[in-house]
Amino acid sequence: MYQVLLYYCYTPLADPEQFRDEHHRLCLDLDLRGRIIVAAEGLNGTVSGSRESCAAYMAAVQADPRFAALEFKIDEVEAHTFQKLHVRLKDEIVHSSLRHVRPHEKTGQHLTPQQFKDLKDRDDVVVVDVRSDYEYNLGRFKNAVTLDIENFRDFPERVARLQEFKDKKILTYCTGGVKCEKASAFLLEQGFENVYQLHGGIIKYGHEVGGEDFDGQCYVFDGRVAVDVNTVNPTVISRCHHCQHPSPRLINCANPQCNAHVPLCESCGTLLDGACSAACAEHPDKRPYDGTGTYPKISNHYTPAQGLASYRA
């Protein structure tokens, strides 16, 4: 059996370049695959590996006192959910355009999944989804406020839409928690007084309280694309991009020039040969459709140790 680990930690790294190289070597030694971002502000990643390798990795990371607050969200899977290993050095561990915000110093109050569940339906509370549109269109909490975000870096521009809720408790949530740390910190900076965040995100909420009232599926950034989190009162909210019938099936458009993330039912997937529209189905560069709607990137002679000394994102 294999596992998928989802994790992040905002903590100052004095030499992120050196840490990146050391962390890359650790992952190579353990045959982990995935996407890890290292920045001066901390660490953010999703990796897959054998149970033994994941256990060794978690022990190594948590032995570093800088990551004392880091928590791993763990899912059991049948095989690797990534084809490659990338450990990238970036300016932020999540691209937010909020580089001045330091969540390890000040951020919204963390709520356990049970606390979030107990608070979310109160009249003095508003639940805010800080994820991108393709994520919340696939699944979101009942009655959550969404902000028409194409990318998280758009979040600061959308905060004005929350002014009407300034007298309420703001409960933010995202997939694993990393975006909420900056989103809730920014809300506090903008004068919102009662700001909270779902600690561990949707994934932990599913693990600990069964995902109750999370409608649809949760988009994840690995080969699974989407996962079920609600075992209490599940429902489907996404609709086929073509026929508009309910469909939880998320695909990438077979036209690589489009590559849109859209729900597409099996019938329409067959009809359009994996494309999101008739025009994309006729595109000369359209990829062969195998019924899954996922297209692993070409390796381009990739090797796991690629660029250890000189690699940059």
User: 280 catalytic, yes or no?
Assistant: no
3-state secondary structure string across the chain: CEEEEEEEEECCCCCHHHHHHHHHHHHHHCCCEEEEEEECCEEEEEEEEEHHHHHHHHHHHHCCHHHCCCCCEEEEECCCCCCCEEEEECCCCCCCCCCCCCCCCCCCEEECHHHHHHHCCCCCEEEEECCCHHHHCCEEECCCECCCCCCHHHHHHHHHHHHHHCCCEEEEECCCCHHHHHHHHHHHHCCCCCEEEECCHHHHHHHHHCCCCEEECEECCCCCCEECCCCCCCCCCCECCCCCCECCCEEECCCCCCCCEEECCHHHHHHCCCCCCHHHHCCCCCCCCCCCCCCCCCCCCCCCCCCCCCCCC
Q: Which of 9, 27, 54, 174 is catalytic?
A: 174
Residues designated as active site: 174
